[in-house]
Structure 1
């Protein structure tokens, strides 16, 4: 089968799928073809999308640059009796911390 014949066969399959009203899975089962192969050819026959420039910002929107959040709190290290350690880099709820320590220090924790 030449490249042109192969492309024509798959064009028929893609068109047949689109006209069938079936799901990809059901169409492929009926046609005896692989789902992944039909997806490949559907994508290949799809109109090429235009590359979007980052400079092209839709009207009414401004570009946003995200920066990492820098905590103003110094990390706190807690060394437990079990030898485990906790390093907290953000403020935490004291009740939650107390529960965490209790669980980590319990015999099955």
Structure 2
């Protein structure tokens, strides 16, 4: 783990150096003795992954009174219980806060 973090730090610094060098990637890699393939590999590896879009599907309420109209469990362990259909409108805002 430590070795991976160290490599990530080194390559993060290299990405910054190339960006401020004024050189294109090819010229910078030649100057530094690196291959473009390795540069592009690390650039992709260090890029922030895109967040998956959250999509909700409205389902009709068929439960019994006193039961939850909806229960959501997030990957981070939050459990959200919506008691009434009126509260379903809160879900979008709530999910935005939890991101």
TM-score band (shorter)?
0.3 to 0.5
User: Which of the two has higher C-alpha Rg?
Assistant: 1
Q: TM-score scaled to structure 1, two decimals?
A: 0.43
Larger % of helix: which? Answer: 2
Q: TM-score scaled to structure 2, two decimals?
A: 0.47
